[in-house]
Chains A and B, each alone.
Chain A
């Protein structure tokens, strides 16, 4: 089945220690998104790639970076995680920004 895969499902890191979250897709979609979702809140868009073009949301902290080496993969890098960065991170994909398909998420814990 075509799908969006996120690894790992659970990630524990230490305060200030860089961490990378991974997303891959078999849908061959040209747009990939990263969202941050805190408890009992709606997902908050951090940035997205439209093909190779990177689009950062205005209020996304510089601590968050992303890489998309090819169509199938996209990474979220948190350079110096703080306690406030503990959250669920959701990856999503779409064909030309219409319907978005979400992965299962990575739950990040910062100690």
Chain B
């Protein structure tokens, strides 16, 4: 069965430091992969997506992610974190019996001043 694993429940980084959030997926075919961000009390906003082509994907707010088929990973990165990046981040793959989103459990990002 398809699944998404986000190994880190909570990460704290200092403002201005680099960030990498890990995501591993289990999917038989070429996956459609997504990263969403959710601020407290808000809906989910799409940061970026991978369908095919270039394995390094650029998203909004200065985020990027790299698809590595050999590692079944789709890690999210940002070179310099801002305090406003504090939020919950969800990795997801399109799959399941009806082609719906399968989410990881999320990683909560805290940013230290």
Known contacts A42-B106, A99-B49; A48/B44 CB under 8 A: no
Stretch at the interface among B11-19, B23-31, B93-101: B93-101
Q: B44, B49, B94: which contacts A43 (Cβ < 8 A)?
A: B44
Q: Does B45 contact A (CB under 8 A)?
A: yes
Q: A41, A90, A99, A100: which contacts B105 (Cβ < 8 A)?
A: A41
> What is the chain B residue whose CB lies nearest that of A107?
B41
Asked if B42 and A105 sit within 8 Å, CB to CB, the answer is yes
Asked if B94 and A97 sit within 8 Å, CB to CB, the answer is yes
Asked if A97 and B100 sit within 8 Å, CB to CB, the answer is yes
* Total A-B residue contacts, Cβ distance less than 8 Å: 47
Q: A42, A55, A98, A102: which contacts B32 (Cβ < 8 A)?
A: A98
Q: Which residues of chain B from 77 to 102 have any CB-CB distance to chain A below 8 Å in the complex?
A: 90, 94, 98-101
Known contacts A41-B105, A42-B103, A43-B103; A103/B98 CB under 8 A: no
Asked if B90 and A42 sit within 8 Å, CB to CB, the answer is yes
Q: Which residues of chain A from 89 to 111 have any CB-CB distance to chain B below 8 Å in the complex?
A: 90, 92, 97-105, 107
Chain A residues near B56 (CB-CB < 8 A): none
- Please give the number of chain A residues whose Cβ is less than 8 angstroms from any Cβ of chain B in the complex: 23
Known contacts A42-B103, A42-B106, A48-B100; A99/B46 CB under 8 A: yes
Q: Does A87 contact B (CB under 8 A)?
A: no
Chain B residues at the A interface, C-beta cutoff of 8 Å: 32, 34, 36, 41-46, 49, 90, 94, 98-101, 103-106, 108
21 residue pairs bridging A and B, Cβ less than 8 Å apart: A4-B43, A6-B43, A33-B100, A41-B105, A42-B103, A43-B44, A43-B90, A43-B103, A45-B101, A90-B43, A97-B94, A98-B32, A99-B34, A100-B101, A101-B46, A102-B44, A104-B42, A104-B43, A105-B42, A105-B43, A107-B41
